[in-house]
Amino acid sequence: MGMLDRIKKRQNDGFKEFVINMETTAALTRGQIFTAGVLEDPIFMSYVMKNIRSFDQFMELDSDDIEIVLTSQDQIMTLFAKCLFGSGDDKIMAYESVIPRLMSKLKDELSYLKEVTPQERDGARFYLMKVARKLQMEEKIQGFSWKLPPQDVYYPKTFKDGATKIYFESGVVAAEGSYAKGRRMGSWRHNYDVGNVLAEGDYIDGLKTGVWVFYYSNGNIKAQGKYRADLKHGLWKEWDRTGVMSEVEYLEGVRKAG
Taking only the tens place, the pLDDT of each residue in 21-54 is: 999 888 888 888 998 999 999 999 999 999 999 9
Nearest-CA neighbor of 213 among 202, 222, 203, 224? 224
In a domain, 92, yes or no: yes
178: in domain:
yes
The residues, any chain, with a CB within 8 Å of residue 96's CB and separated by 6 or more, are 103
Residues 165 and 211 in one domain: yes
196 and 110 assigned to the same domain: no
- Of residues 74 and 252, the one with the higher pLDDT is 74
> Do residue 126 and residue 175 come from a single domain?
no
CATH number for the domain that contains residue 253: 2.20.110.10
Domain holding 197, by residue range, is: 161-258
Residue 31 lies in a domain: no
Q: Give 81-115 pLDDT, tens digit per residue.
A: 999 999 988 989 999 999 999 999 999 999 999 99
18 within some domain: no
Q: How much is the pLDDT for 258?
A: 63
**What is the rounded (10 degree) CA torsion for 28, 31, 32, 38?**
180
Q: Is there a single domain that holds both residue 169 and residue 256?
A: yes
Under 8 Å between Cβ of 55 and 70: no
Q: Is the pLDDT of residue 1 over 60?
A: no
**Average pLDDT for the chain:** 93
What per-residue confidence (pLDDT) applies to 249? 93
Query: Nearest-CA neighbor of 23 among 102, 122, 100, 107?
Result: 122
Number of domains in the chain: 2
Position 23 in a domain: no
Residues 133 and 59 in one domain: yes
